[in-house]
Amino acid sequence: MRYDRFIKAAVAGLSLALAAPMTDASAEVLTVMRGAPSGALQVAMNRAVVVESDTPFTEVSIANPGIADISTLSDRTLYVLGKEPGRTTLTLLGADGRLITNVEVQVTPDIDEFKERLTQILPGEAIEVRTAANGIVLSGTVSSITRLDRALELAERYAPDRVSNLMSVGGVQQVMLKVRFAEMQRSVSKSLSSSLTARGTALGDNLGLVGGNGSLVGNDSITSALSGAVPGGNENNGAMLFGFNAGGLEVGILLEALESRGVVRTLAEPNLTALSGQEARFLAGGEYPVPVSQDGGAIAIEYKPFGVELNFTPRVVDGDIINLQLEAAVSSIDTTNGFTQGGFTVDAFRRRETSTTVEMRDGESFAIAGLLSDDFMDLNGQVPFVGDIPVLGALFRSAEYSRQQTELVIIVTPHLVTPTRGEALALPTDRVRPPTERDLFLYGRVAAENGPGAAPQQGAAAEVARQDFSGSYGYVMD
């Protein structure tokens, strides 16, 4: 008997020792009384709340066991365990079968644990967490879109498809993109050719070059012999003609030499501003009409854009880190590679474009595209066998040499920008006003600078407008 009492006492003590910490540390306590209205019971998901009754109960039921589960500890105490977010009703009945009370049980996501994880993952972010119905509501201001996405992704773990986002992104969220197209083209070509003709009775009076146009000053027989071999005036700066008579034989020699060099520079700098996450488009140029055949033989016109084009979508990732998805192009009409059919002539386009995605910080630059092209051509033609004769063979040979080099680079630079007051902005037209009739007809002035009313009188724009530009400034063409 003593051993039985000792064992029972030990088991009871162990049960109290295990139950007491659970009740104090992991569960709240709600006390209900017969006949008194009971408030709603808030239970976090996967947490338990102790319900105590002043009247012993004999029967306990839960309306929706999928939302909450119950476990009795005694005839006056029970556990309510939250399983899924939602609302249900807990009913307690007494020994006489009469209703003791109905308790509304509301199971919500465990925001305490969520707040702890949110603080660990995103320290320093002012994010407020609340519960609403069966979900989580996030509000406050975060420093970047990336951190906002991380907070939403974490909240989805605790309340799938029940997260309301009321957060806003602080800091600068507008991006100005500066794109620089720089292209240099260099070309060199050299040619050297000669022609030898003869005409006379000794050769049957029928040896010579025929065809083309052009005229020579000199003997008519040499003119007819070299007709068409000499280019017209101003066509070739390096053409020289020699002619002489040897008895009944008339000889004409034509030497052609030409060297040309050229340099072309192309520079375009489009600037465009857009809100983070929004697409912006820019076109400085025009549209070229292109005829397109339709069903039934009809001809329709489609317009193809050309000029400087820029499409980009910026995203401020974190702080001053900017993600850029962009398409940039510079195109122009190329009349040398056209297409003609049915009376229509369609010119080709010369186009340099790039499409890429890069990431950089505010004010940093990136060369997103580059091209180095070097085309070389060397052509040598001669009369067989005769052209191989030393010295004299040069009269029966022609040589051509050409080389074209192209260098292209595209550089992008993003900037985080904020708007300013309109009075602080200066325009190119702020320093110029239309001329009066006296200035135009009497003095021949087409515009007057810094005249009365031609510029703002105060602010940053006025400082620029009052500058005295002497000499050449702006874009000057010599």
The average confidence (pLDDT) of the chain is 75
- Burial class for 27, CB neighbours closer than 10 Å (0-12, 13-18, 19+): middle
Check whether residue 434 and residue 410 sit in a common domain. Answer: no
Chain position carrying tokens 């052209």: 387
- The percent of residues above 70 in pLDDT, for the chain, comes to 72
CATH assignment of the domain containing 71: 2.60.40.1380
Structural domain contains residue 134: yes
> Over the stretch 138-184, which tens digit does the pLDDT of each residue have?
888 887 777 888 888 888 888 888 888 888 887 778 899 998 888 88
Structural domain contains residue 475: no
Q: Which domain holds residue 102?
A: 41-108
Check whether residue 284 and residue 338 sit in a common domain. Answer: yes
Check whether residue 160 and residue 139 sit in a common domain. Answer: yes
Check whether residue 341 and residue 436 sit in a common domain. Answer: no
* Chosen domain end from 93, 108, 123: 108
**Two tokens, residue 237:** 């700066």
Structural domain contains residue 220: no
Check whether residue 317 and residue 443 sit in a common domain. Answer: no
Phi-psi region of 474 (alpha: psi -120 to 50; beta: other; left: phi over 0): left
Element holding 273 (H helix, E strand): strand 271-275
Long-range contacts of 392-398 (CB under 8 A, 24+ apart): 394/194, 395/194, 395/195, 395/196, 395/253, 396/194, 396/196, 397/193, 397/194, 398/191, 398/192, 398/193, 398/194
CATH assignment of the domain containing 165: 3.30.1340.30
User: Within 13 Å, how many C-alpha atoms sit on residue 347's CB side?
Assistant: 16
> Over the stretch 50-85, which tens digit does the pLDDT of each residue have?
888 888 888 888 888 888 888 888 888 888 898 888
Check whether residue 274 and residue 407 sit in a common domain. Answer: yes
Mean pLDDT within 214-224 = 41
312 pLDDT tier (thresholds 50, 70, 90): very high
pLDDT at 56: 86
Using the predicted structure, report yes or no on whether residue 21 has a pLDDT greater than 80.
Answer: no
Using the predicted structure, report yes or no on whether residue 462 has a pLDDT greater than 70.
Answer: no
Structural domain contains residue 202: no
Least confident window among 213-222, 286-295, 443-452:
213-222
Phi-psi region of 302 (alpha: psi -120 to 50; beta: other; left: phi over 0): beta
pLDDT at 218: 38
Mean pLDDT within 370-392 = 82
- The percent of residues above 90 in pLDDT, for the chain, comes to 6
Check whether residue 119 and residue 142 sit in a common domain. Answer: yes
356 pLDDT tier (thresholds 50, 70, 90): very high
Mean pLDDT within 464-477 = 52
Check whether residue 136 and residue 100 sit in a common domain. Answer: no
Q: How far apart are CA 370 and CA 414, in angstroms?
A: 19
User: Number of folded domains in the chain?
Assistant: 4
Q: How far apart are CA 280 and CA 181, in angstroms?
A: 18
Structural domain contains residue 250: no
Q: How far apart are CA 401 and CA 378, in angstroms?
A: 5
Mean pLDDT within 113-126 = 85
Structural domain contains residue 224: no
Mean pLDDT within 281-309 = 86
Check whether residue 324 and residue 431 sit in a common domain. Answer: no
Least confident window among 254-258, 291-295, 414-418:
254-258
Check whether residue 286 and residue 311 sit in a common domain. Answer: yes
Q: How far apart are CA 75 and CA 56, in angstroms?
A: 5
Q: How far apart are CA 92 and CA 100, in angstroms?
A: 5
Q: Please, what sign has the CA dihedral across residues 444, 450, 452, 455?
A: positive
* Chosen domain end from 108, 123, 152: 108
Structural domain contains residue 58: yes
Judge contact between 299 and 291, C-beta under 8 A: yes
Q: How far apart are CA 379 and CA 399, in angstroms?
A: 6
pLDDT at 177: 92
Q: How far apart are CA 323 and CA 412, in angstroms?
A: 12
Least confident window among 158-172, 282-296, 442-456, 463-477:
463-477
Check whether residue 272 and residue 407 sit in a common domain. Answer: yes
Structural domain contains residue 212: no
* Chosen domain end from 55, 88, 108: 108
Q: Helices 145-158 and 111-121: crossing angle, nearest 10°?
A: 150
Using the predicted structure, report yes or no on whether residue 19 has a pLDDT greater than 90.
Answer: no
**Two tokens, residue 280:** 């912006």
Q: How far apart are CA 370 and CA 268, in angstroms?
A: 15
Higher-confidence position of 355 and 317: 355
Higher-confidence position of 409 and 426: 409
Check whether residue 71 and residue 88 sit in a common domain. Answer: yes
Mean pLDDT within 201-230 = 42
